[in-house]
Amino acid sequence: MTKLDLPKTDAIIVGSGPNGLAAAIRLAQAGWAVTVVEASPTLGGGVSSAELTLPGFIHDVCSSVYPMGLCSPFLSTLPLEKHGLEWVFPPVALAHPFDDGTAALLHHSVDETVAGFPSDGASYRRLIGDLVPRWRELFADVFTPLGKIPHHPFLMAKFGLNAIRSGRGLARSAFTTEKARGLFAGLAAHSLLPLEELSSAAIALVLTIAAHARGWPFARGGSQQLTGALASYLKSLGGHLITGHNVESLDRLPPARAVLLDVTPRQFLKIAGDRLQGSYRRKLERYQYGMASYKLDWALGRPVPWRAPECLQAGTVHLGGTLDEISDSERRAGRGQASERPFVLFAQASLFDPSRAPEGKHTAWAYCHVPNGYAGDMTAAIENQVERFAPGFRDSILARSVMGPAALERQNPNIVNGDIAGGALNLRQLFLRPAPSLYRTPLSRVFLCSSSTPPGPGVHGMCGFWAAETALGSE
Ligand SMILES: Cc1cc2nc3c(=O)[nH]c(=O)nc-3n(C[C@H](O)[C@H](O)[C@H](O)COP(=O)(O)OP(=O)(O)OC[C@H]3O[C@@H](n4cnc5c(N)ncnc54)[C@H](O)[C@@H]3O)c2cc1C
């Protein structure tokens, strides 16, 4: 079997998603010679952009909104602005419209946010008020794998007691207004769990605190610019990057001090072949993938005609109305049934970044959750939800790109049957991803570094960072 011909290297990183690049950067910072090998012709995995619809319209193929990238304890230390990254901050992080033509808004300021639901203001402040000013300390612990002692145990306990709860339970016990409950439900739906499941509140708290701490930015020019900045910084540290090479077997890789795999358990089983045996193999075989996503991108002739005009101030808009409706949509997706009125995560980057579309024109990005491997068509259901809160939206569509679970997986094998989280985020897999050994595998000098390891999905690079630390500590 021919070995992959690489420059002399200490570490090989398979996959150039944000975790692969973060791992490579951390090792290069420690003085290691690193080579990243990427299957796709372009770098970035879930952080990429392309003209998916018409020439001149730049769409984010997967991720688009980066509160966790901005607040990441590792990525925030890197000189990415010097390497071409410019964050774009919409004036409002998130808008959540309702059928009566009003909207709840998640502002940078807590005061402005609670002005939208004054009778729940005190509860909102109780929930996150103390945590916002201490977000750096909190996130340093939140983005650290289980097993390491938190640096700020009391802060973590205050966060953890609510984070461990179900999104629905916390929304109902903390708030009384439909506005605050609906807003919180949309945030909790980022967990990709039914909102009745324990720990589905965690991501809602993280995203809320991040909005008040720093904001929910886009990357100017498209997500590829974030990947470009990470790759450029890696090169400045001496790292090498190879694209268009799918690593099919560990046997094809030359010897190295460490191999870090930015892949999920299913691909690891394939790449490792017979080398993986026993209980570890069985754990990976039993690893659960979660609900899938169904994604649309549009080229638009004008801004979205929101009934609540304040939605035009927000980078992200959550379409699903009340807590009950959002819970229903996510419960169905979790149980293997697509919702006719799906909860839709919608982003409108070109309103704040004109470089994304020809003058006067716009882009929009949206997805909803569907059952793992769903083969139906959600185009009409998603567009109906936009139309519900923005009558006339359909008339503004110039072109659309549609990616169901299979299409998402074709462009990135880590999106197994459309699961964008690298595996279900139920309580066990939230902490012990994909097995209790986390980044370590039974294979000498082979580590996992993808979002199938803690702290899980999202563009924060912390899975890669901790995998690299584990490799450095294993020397
Ligand atoms: C539609 C969608 C929307 C999202 N929205 C957001 C968002 O707005 N904000 C956010 O923070 N997160 C978002 N996410 C999640 C985020 O993109 C992922 O959590 C993140 O990209 C995971 O990073 P990763 O490095 O673990 O893996 P990936 O980004 O998936 O990268 C893995 C890379 O490894 C490569 N690879 C796999 N196997 C091989 C092989 N055998 N040989 C060589 N290369 C290989 C793949 O081609 C890919 O480039 C979204 C994801 C999707 C799909």
63's tokens:
């991720």
Cβ of 372 less than 6 Å from ligand 1: no
Cβ of 409 less than 6 Å from ligand 1: no
pLDDT of residue 3 exceeding 80, the answer is no
Average pLDDT, integer, range 275-291? 96
pLDDT of residue 55 exceeding 80, the answer is yes
Report the atom number in ligand 1 closest to the C-alpha of 21: 25
Cβ of 227 less than 6 Å from ligand 1: no
pLDDT value, residue 149: 80
- Taking the model in full, what pTM does it have? 0.97
Q: How confident is the model at residue 1 (pLDDT cuts 50, 70, 90)?
A: low
Average pLDDT, integer, range 386-395? 98
Average pLDDT, integer, range 22-33? 98
Cβ of 456 less than 6 Å from ligand 1: no
Cβ of 287 less than 6 Å from ligand 1: no
pLDDT of residue 350 exceeding 80, the answer is yes
Cβ of 15 less than 6 Å from ligand 1: yes
Out of 70, 459, 460, 465, mutate this one to test ligand 1's pocket (max ligand atoms within 8 Å of CB): namely 459
Cβ of 17 less than 6 Å from ligand 1: yes
Cβ of 412 less than 6 Å from ligand 1: yes
Going by their DSSP bridges, the two strands 446-448 and 258-261 should be labelled as parallel
User: Mean pLDDT of all residues in the chain?
Assistant: 96
**Whose CA is closest to 148, among 459, 454, 458, 413?**
454
Out of 420, 430, 460, mutate this one to test ligand 1's pocket (max ligand atoms within 8 Å of CB): namely 420
* Distance separating alpha carbons of residues 36 and 53, to the nearest angstrom: 30
Residue 470 CA to ligand 1 center (angstroms) comes to: 21
pLDDT value, residue 8: 87
Cα–Cα distances in angstroms (integers) from residue 455 to residues 17, 141, 329, 467, in the given order: 15, 10, 25, 11
* Distance separating alpha carbons of residues 220 and 93, to the nearest angstrom: 16
pLDDT of residue 2 exceeding 80, the answer is no
pLDDT value, residue 304: 98
pLDDT value, residue 430: 87
pLDDT of residue 226 exceeding 90, the answer is yes
pLDDT value, residue 467: 98
Residue pLDDT, tens place only, 459-474: 999 999 999 999 999 9
Residue pLDDT, tens place only, 323-348: 999 999 999 999 999 999 999 999 99
pLDDT value, residue 414: 98
Average pLDDT, integer, range 85-101? 98
Contact (Cβ atoms closer than 8 angstroms) between residue 253 and residue 271: no
Containing H/E element for 351? none
Cβ of 420 less than 6 Å from ligand 1: yes
Residue pLDDT, tens place only, 198-220: 999 999 999 999 999 999 999 99
| Single-letter code of the amino acid located at 187 | L
Cβ of 20 less than 6 Å from ligand 1: yes
Q: Who wins on pLDDT, 8 or 224?
A: 224
Residue 94 CA to ligand 1 center (angstroms) comes to: 23
Out of 262, 266, 267, 297, mutate this one to test ligand 1's pocket (max ligand atoms within 8 Å of CB): namely 262
Out of 37, 61, 62, 65, mutate this one to test ligand 1's pocket (max ligand atoms within 8 Å of CB): namely 62
Task: Determine what percent of the chain is predicted with pLDDT higher than 90.
Answer: 96
* Distance separating alpha carbons of residues 308 and 389, to the nearest angstrom: 8
Average pLDDT, integer, range 258-275? 97
Residue pLDDT, tens place only, 138-173: 999 999 997 778 899 999 999 999 999 999 999 999
| Single-letter code of the amino acid located at 128 | I
